Amino acid sequence: MPQLLPRSANWHMTSACNYHCKFCCMQKLTGDLTSMTRAEEVLHHLKRLGIEKINFVGGEPLCSSWIYDVTQRAKEMGFVVGITSNGALLTENTLNRLSGSVDWIGLSIDSASDEIEKRLGRGDGSHVRHCTEVSEMVQGLGIKLKINTTVTKLTCQEDMREFIRSINPDRWKVFQFLHVPGQNDDAVASLGITDEEFSWFRYINQDLRLRHGTSPVFESADCMLDSYLMLTPSGSIFLNTEFPFREYPIESVSADMLPRILNVENYFSRGAVYAW
């Protein structure tokens, strides 16, 4: 029986960000994307490795000057293309530029409360209101909408169902606060949560049904830690299980090496492959 291999990848385009989220576990990425020539090389290697979907993340991917050209080229090469953004730089103009080359836009919203988002470092007190407006524009353009929520000490008892229903996304991914040593150490004491606290958030919110009858996806810290195929800004594959991150030049990685780089069983068990 052929070995199951990952079919999606997260390319962390930049460590630059216009927000200062206290819980962020990708604050200190190394390397930069320096040319479209390099971007095309990386895309061809991802195609060689059997990757079908690329999610461009950060930092904040809209802070990268390459984001429009790289997403367009990825779409031309046949990838399903997603962007995960804090939403602050998404406007009618930027969304129109992305339309046609992006299939999914993920918005990071961790609470229905603007005040809590501000306390988390996500924006200046208007994050939820702005993302609600962006959600309407995204859906109006026919782009699929995903909401990403990180559960912290400030939100682990929050019922977000009414808010998520009002947004009506195609997908809602809910993450337990993930401590990555060397990245977000200062936030552990104030924002870290136990498995039991994450389970309580799940209990409160799990009966929500989204578009097409789909359910929210909940990812524990243990499941997330080594189950993503991730790329640095310059295009190396890296692991977040230790810091400094261990990197593998993508040119040297073959498909049969992938199960040794990430936990493929956890990749599939967390629902990484869906009707994208």
Q: Which residues of 118-143 are buried (b: 16+ CB within 10 A; e: fewer)?
A: bbbebbeeebbebbbebbebbbeeeb
CATH number for position 48: 3.20.20.70
Instruction: List pLDDT tens digits, range 135-172.
Output: 999 999 999 999 999 999 999 999 999 999 999 999 99
Q: Is the residue at 16 inside a domain? A: yes
Instruction: List pLDDT tens digits, range 2-14.
Output: 578 999 999 999 9
Q: Is the residue at 276 inside a domain? A: no
Q: Is the residue at 158 inside a domain? A: yes
Angle between helical axes of 67-76 and 36-48 (0-180°, round to 10): 40
State residue 239's pLDDT score.
83
Q: Is the residue at 3 inside a domain? A: no
For residues 154 and 219, give the distance between their C-alpha atoms in angstroms, rounded to a whole number.
Answer: 18
Question: What tokens does 48 get?
Answer: 């060689």
Q: Is the residue at 68 inside a domain? A: yes
State residue 1's pLDDT score.
42
Helix H or strand E segment including 9: strand 8-12
State residue 3's pLDDT score.
73
- Domain around 18: 8-270
Helix H or strand E segment including 149: strand 144-151
Q: Is the residue at 151 inside a domain? A: yes
Q: Is the residue at 166 inside a domain? A: yes
* Residue ranges in the chain modelled with pLDDT below 70: 1-2, 242-243
The structural domain count of the chain equals 1
192 and 179 Cβ atoms separated by less than 8 Å: yes
Q: Is the residue at 275 inside a domain? A: no
237-239 and 53-57: which strand pairing? unpaired
